[in-house]
Amino acid sequence: MNKLLFLIGIVLLSTGFVFSQDEPVYSPFESPYILDNQTTFVNYEKTLEMAIQHKFGTFENGITDIYGIYSSANIRIGFDYVPIKNLQIGYGLTRMEMTHDFNVKYTVFEQTQNNSKPFALAVYGNLGINGLEEEQLGANNDFSQRLSMFGQLLMSRKFIDKITVQLGASYSHFNMVDIAKYDYDRVALHFSGRYKFAGTGAIIVNYDQPLDVLRLTGHEDFDLNPNISIGYEFFTGTHDFQIYMGYTNHLLQQHAMVKETKDFEFEMFNFGFLITRLWPF
């Protein structure tokens, strides 16, 4: 009898060990956001998150406006909810063009501890609606002409306890743009990285590169400059803080990939920050 109980115990322990190794890796990211991008991470089921994103003006005026801090700012306030595991739905409002965005993200699968799935895979998309007054849009004020779209495929891997790397590819589209300045469509590649150097702190980086493809009927004279950002992340159980400097002043990805045309110089960079707050239900 004792031998039988011993064997049953060994089987149960072995089974538990196998299942635990098939579990997702712990904390590849602390937030669904990383600087100007999304991550493959989705919060726990029945979680509501509020995000406040803020971009200051550029450095070009120097001390006159404290390197853009007292200049004009771009702000987005968003809310994301996880109704079922791995599915995030959200809404946000951005000051630039008063754009309403409705977004969804789904983590197809997560990286596992035993490497049966060596990376995480997620898809993200949003639909933007330009909310400016009809007088500001002129003749281009039909509802369909106010729409923009962004779709992205994301893949991430946590290599060691401190380092997570994420790659992505995206497609942006605007139903209506000023073709003297912009293109309708844009394909881009994305890189994000996170180095967790302390228990609650990490260095985070982001690189977005719009590509010279799918310029269907748009303007082709301006340079497709990369969006580069670097910052510091501090996180608690319910909050995530990201303070950084970067190139683009835009907060929606399709705007950053299509409508960012300023010169690529250090004085054109700006400071920004992100604050998120979680509520479990």
Helical H segments across 90-193, by residue range: 134-137
Does some domain include residue 60? yes
pLDDT single digits (tens) 209-251: 999 876 655 566 667 899 999 999 999 988 999 999 999 999 9
pLDDT at residue 27, rounded to an integer = 87
Distance (Å, rounded) from C-alpha 119 to C-alpha 207? 20
Does some domain include residue 26? no
Does some domain include residue 231? yes
Does some domain include residue 226? yes
Does some domain include residue 24? no
Structural domain including 63 reads 39-280
Place of tokens 């608690």: 236
Helical H segments across the chain, by residue range: 2-21, 134-137, 253-258
Q: Is 90 exceeded by the pLDDT of residue 254?
A: yes
pLDDT single digits (tens) 193-217: 999 988 889 999 999 999 987 665 5
Distance (Å, rounded) from C-alpha 174 to C-alpha 112? 37
Does some domain include residue 5? no
pLDDT at residue 134, rounded to an integer = 78
Distance (Å, rounded) from C-alpha 87 to C-alpha 47? 11
| pLDDT band (50, 70, 90) for residue 14 | very low
Give Cβ neighbours of residue 176 (< 8 Å, ≥ 6 apart).
140, 145, 146
What value, to the nearest 5°, has the Cα angle with vertex 143 and ends 139 and 146?
Answer: 75
Does some domain include residue 27? no
Does some domain include residue 6? no
- The pTM of the full predicted model, rounded to 2 decimals, is 0.86
CATH code, domain with 99: 2.40.160.40
pLDDT single digits (tens) 52-102: 999 999 998 888 888 888 888 899 999 999 999 999 999 999 999 999 999
Q: Structurally, how many domains does the chain consist of?
A: 1
As a whole number, mean pLDDT of residues 116-135 equals 92
